[in-house]
Amino acid sequence: MNVLGRHIFIVDDNLNNLQIIARILKEAGYKISLAENGKSALTQLEKYSPDLILLDVMMPEMDGYEMCRLMKQDDRYKDIPVIFLTAKNQTEDLMEGFNAGGVDYIVKPFQQDELLIRVVNHLELALAKKELIEFNQTRSKLYSIIAHDIRSPINSILFALKAINEGYFDADSTGFDDIMLQLEQTTKQTNSLLDNLLDWTKFQSSKLEMSPQLNTFVPLLQECIQLLDSYAHQKGISIELNVSDSVEGYFDELSMHVVFRNLISNAIKFTRENGKIVLTQYSRGDSIVIRIQDNGVGMDSKTLNKLFEKQESYTTLGTQKEKGTGLGLVMVKEFVEKNNGSIHVTSVSGQGTIFDISIPAMKGVKNDKLISFGSIIEENV
């Protein structure tokens, strides 16, 4: 498990100690941030979340124990490992540090090799713990989808086929065409869910390899629209593609196909009959933004804030009671991140929703702000 490049936050009121530790860790390949006291460190934590904290015990105003206790009370920071730096090595001092939430001690003066080994060990433990938590969340999500969102439509299909097979309906029966249409729709929705599920599980197991390269957007978007054309036609929804043939971005074609397929499908799902979906483009810095805008039902702030939460099986019904799992948007977030892109969602309940997907226009560009929310605003595009 490679931990080099991880962010380490050093808190010590001794400037000489800060400089020495920072030099050692920086030369070893870590990203470093510094603070000279506990209060300043807590304020800085609001700006970024480090992977590990090296925390001096003896500091004025707020010692390391108190800072650690306050930090561990905050859900945002409670899982960040804290290694105490101290000249104290009595049992009661060590126990106080562990009770405050620390994971280890380094006693001053220390050897450079000791510092680096302890840093590596606790970074690896923290990453392993995070991966285990994410694995359990993923497993729970998969069980939920299999138990409810796949079993239910398959049971509906089997029930309808059994009724037809036992002679309750034939081709001349009233409502037979409606039953067949419903069977077709349910089968397509279940198949789409299975496609998403397979793509996502490949991604979670790191078997879905990303191969970003310079690609044009139009063929990809046209293919997604074509795949969803019958769904849109059924609801009388028009889809306009106003993206230039020459516009290019640096992305992995397979994963971005999943992104745009899900976003267009979602727009259809939440747009009323005879509605409209428009795909446009604009430039922002070193990136190209593809905007997907609908005039559908929109979302309130509560719904908006739950869109990308992996731990929740959160979904809402479409305008024709279409079902979903929320899995599609979880994948959208993860795949956009893997393409060094960003996603911005704006919506007004009853008026519609905009998804802006920002993708690098060239190799090496990375968007720092991955997810943001807001209300619909006017913008020149």
pLDDT at position 200 over 70:
no
The answer to whether residue 23 is domain-embedded is yes
The residues pairing with 35 across neighbouring beta strands, listed in sequence order, are 11
Domain boundary among 94, 110, 126: 110
The answer to whether residue 125 is domain-embedded is no
Number of domains in the chain: 2
CA distances from 252 to 209, 227, 239 (A): 9, 19, 24
The answer to whether residue 151 is domain-embedded is no
How many Cα atoms occupy the beta-carbon half-sphere of 106 within 13 Å?
A: 24
Q: Going by C-beta distance under 8 Å and a sequence separation of 6 or more, which residues neighbour residue 304?
A: 345, 347, 373
The answer to whether residue 12 is domain-embedded is yes
Find the CATH number of the domain harbouring 248.
Answer: 3.30.565.10
Does residue 109 have a cis peptide bond before it, meaning omega lies within 30 degrees of 0?
Answer: yes
Number of neighbouring beta carbons within 10 Å of residue 37:
17
Q: Tell me the pLDDT tens digit for each residue of 75-129.
A: 888 889 999 998 877 777 778 888 999 999 898 888 899 999 999 999 999 888 8
Residue found under tokens 């280890």: 104
DSSP 297: -
Residues of the domain holding 69 = 7-110
Q: Tell me the pLDDT tens digit for each residue of 37-50.
A: 888 899 888 787 89
Find the CATH number of the domain harbouring 20.
Answer: 3.40.50.2300
Of 307, 97, 334, give the one whose Cα is nearest residue 203. Answer: 334
Beta-strand relationship, 7-11 and 31-35: parallel
Domain boundary among 78, 110, 142: 110
pTM above 0.75, yes or no: no
- The strands making up 52-56's β-sheet, listed across from edge to edge, are 31-35, 7-11, 52-56, 82-86, 104-107
SS3 290: strand
The whole-angstrom distance between residue 312's C-alpha and the CA centroid of its chain comes to: 12
Q: Tell me the pLDDT tens digit for each residue of 224-244.
A: 888 788 788 889 999 999 999
